[in-house]
Structure 1
Amino acid sequence: MSLPAGLTPLLSQQELETYYDVSDWTVLQWIKAGMPVEPMRGTGTQKANRRFDLNEVKAWHAEQSQLAATA
């Protein structure tokens, strides 16, 4: 089943950690550095309530790589 045009699935923090093969600590450092995050309402831990647009995260990583290359 695919999503309607214009809709992008949001990943949980655990899914993002799996996608990039990194720890939760690394994702927290990325968030502190300005990586886009979509807070979700609900009960549970803050980690469980975060969602990430993979396209925005990829764009943020590309921008960070460019900034590092020109520094």
Structure 2
Amino acid sequence: MSVTTLPLPLPLLKQRELQEHFGVSDWTVNSWIRRQGCPVEYLPNGHRRFDLDKVRAWMAEQSEAGREQRRRQSENALTQRPA
């Protein structure tokens, strides 16, 4: 009989650890959460923790959305130019 072990989930990061990982300030992380929807886990005591995989996926999604927005702006600018 073989035993299969599943990898344990990585521990959640504290905000300071997330800041250090991405090299950003606390203001930036707070902005990500409040204004842009960064995924965050709230502990029963009210402290916030971050799943690095979820944050990375969110950042990739934000990057793609930003590229799409810039593409649309560029197209609009080209179509609105006087002839």
| TM-score normalised according to structure 2 size | 0.71
**Match of residue 10, structure 2, among 8, 14, 22:** 8
In structure 2, C-alpha distance between the alignment counterparts of 1:31 and 1:17, rounded to whole Å: 13
Q: Work out which of the two has the higher radius of gyration on C-alpha atoms and give 1 or 2.
A: 2
Aligned to 1:23: 25
- Matched pairs, number: 63
Structure 2 alignment gaps of length 5 or more: 1-5, 70-83
The CA RMSD measured in Å over matched residues stands at 1.3
Shift of residue 8 of structure 1?
2.1
Q: Tell me which protein shows more strand as a share of its residues.
A: 1
**Structure with the higher fraction of residues in helix conformation:** 2
Question: Aligned residue for 2:56?
Answer: 58
**Which structure's relative contact order is higher, taking Cα pairs within 8 Å and 6+ residues apart?**
1
Aligned-pair distance for 1:6?
4.3
User: Residue 41 of structure 1: CA displacement?
Assistant: 1.8
| Matched residue, 2:78 | none
Structure 1: give runs of 5+ residues left out of the alignment: none
Instruction: Output the TM-score relative to the length of structure 1.
Output: 0.82
Q: 2:80 maps to what in 1?
A: none
Q: Tell me which stretches of 4 or more aligned residues in structure 1 moved more than 3 Å.
A: none
Q: C-alpha distance in 2, partners of 1:6/1:34?
A: 26
